[in-house]
Amino acid sequence: MLTRFKEKIQSLLRDEAEIAYKIGLTPSHLSAAGAVLGASSGIFYWMTGLSASDPLRSRVYLFLAVLFLLASGFLDALDGVLARIYKEASARGAFLDSLLDRYVDSAVYLGIIIGGLCDLLWGILALIGSLLTSYVRARSEALKISMESVGVFERAERIILIVASSIIGLFWLEALHWGILILAIATNLTVLQRVIFFFKSI
């Protein structure tokens, strides 16, 4: 859904991309840094759950989890802008970026699940739905059928929902459980939408 705003977001990040280029950063550097930040976010979600008996410490870890996830998302957007502006886009870079995104997604969901911040079943369903949403698009586009903007929950929407439920979770930790429940339903619905779209397109 938010894919339609991609060009606007990219134009807003042009200055940041120019700064990154001037200091010698490449899209691969940004992708790698974003992956590290995303994995760190997952660790902080896990630590949030482990510290549930200490509300203050738990909130600090949750705040760090959100902060690192936002920073990871920012670098993930910036690496694409940098690649396009300076003609550094490549199949290798696109493949690496997509692969690292899946690792970040998995780390964040697993941190939330293992930390006990959501129901185990809903957490697993949300993780599966998120990974399959991306897989279905990749497999479809390998067969020359575009999936851009198909489905209610792409990666941007997933990150926004996790961030929003985490921010609410700073005051009411149960919000993360409900956020994951919504993701479990919405991501698998997106997979279904994309499967139906694919079969209608062939």
Tell me how far apart the alpha carbons of residues 95 and 1 are, in angstroms, rounded to a whole number.
Answer: 22
Q: What is the pLDDT of residues 57-106, one digit of tens each?
A: 999 999 999 999 999 999 998 998 888 888 877 888 889 899 999 999 99
- Angle at 81 (CA atoms; ends 97, 1), nearest 5 degrees: 75
Q: Return the higher-pLDDT residue of 47 and 13.
A: 47
**Torsion angle of the four alpha carbons 114, 38, 58, 173, in this order, in degrees rounded to the nearest 10:** -70
For residue 83, the model assigns a pLDDT of 86
Of 97, 101, 105, 119, catalytic = 101
The position carrying tokens 């790698």 is: 32
**Backbone angle region of 151, left / alpha / beta, with phi > 0 → left and psi within -120 to 50 → alpha:** left
For residue 5, the model assigns a pLDDT of 59
Question: Catalytic: 54?
Answer: no
The answer to whether 159 and 100 have CB atoms below 8 angstroms apart is no
CATH tag, 2-201 = 1.20.120.1760
For residue 89, the model assigns a pLDDT of 77
For residue 2, the model assigns a pLDDT of 53
Q: What is the pLDDT of residues 24-39, one digit of tens each?
A: 998 999 999 999 999 9
With a threshold of 0.85, does the pTM exceed it?
yes
- As a whole number, mean pLDDT of residues 158-178 equals 95
For residue 151, the model assigns a pLDDT of 85
Q: Return the higher-pLDDT residue of 78 and 4.
A: 78
pLDDT over 70 (residue 4): no
Give the start-to-end residue ranges of the domains of the chain.
Answer: 2-201
